[in-house]
Amino acid sequence: MIIRQAREEDVTQIAEIMVEDWQTAYRGIMDDDFLDSLRAEQRYQIEIKRFQKYTVAIDNDEVLGYAWNEMIDDEAADCEIMALYVRCSKRKRGIGKALMQNSMDCFRKAGKKLMIIWCLKDNYESRKFYERMGGKVYKDATHRWGNRDYDIISYLYPLD
């Protein structure tokens, strides 16, 4: 496995991973109608516009997962992992950990001091992962997807 900047040819797989991950991990947390409406073809149109912000974990030509990193100016943090997804069939193999470590290393090299990541409050599997990676609960909020607001929670990571 290698981690590198995403390329245009990765976007189809990135879109497929996002849709599959949401439809699997968020089932029972988010509305079924919303999850069932997600399509990789539609997601492709969104991801093609921002794939340059992504790093991907690759094995041969297969995208195993990806992370979307942003520099931000928030009251609590100066950088954020906006998204971190691993192909469902490839989970529990250290891919998410490697992507997260890579993101943190990139932020450190850029002189950033405090990273934040958000997730659905009821997504306990992801929350356990973020806590194992050293994140400390910061604050709650809500975010709208589809026609409904969902509770989300953030984790902070000191980078020094």
Question: What pLDDT, in 10s, does the model give residues 69-81?
Answer: 999 988 889 999 9
Better-scored residue on pLDDT, 91 or 56: 56
Mean pLDDT confidence for 6-28: 96
Ordered structural domains, the chain, with CATH: 2-158 (3.40.630.30)
* Contact between residue 3 and residue 56 where contact means Cβ atoms under 8 Å apart: yes
Which pLDDT does position 92 carry in this prediction? 84
Which pLDDT does position 150 carry in this prediction? 96
If phi > 0 it is left, if psi is from -120 to 50 it is alpha, else beta; for residue 92 that is left
Which pLDDT does position 91 carry in this prediction? 83
Q: What global pTM score does this model have?
A: 0.92
Pairing state of beta strands 54-59 and 114-120?
A: unpaired
Mean pLDDT confidence for 39-43: 95
* Contact between residue 43 and residue 15 where contact means Cβ atoms under 8 Å apart: yes
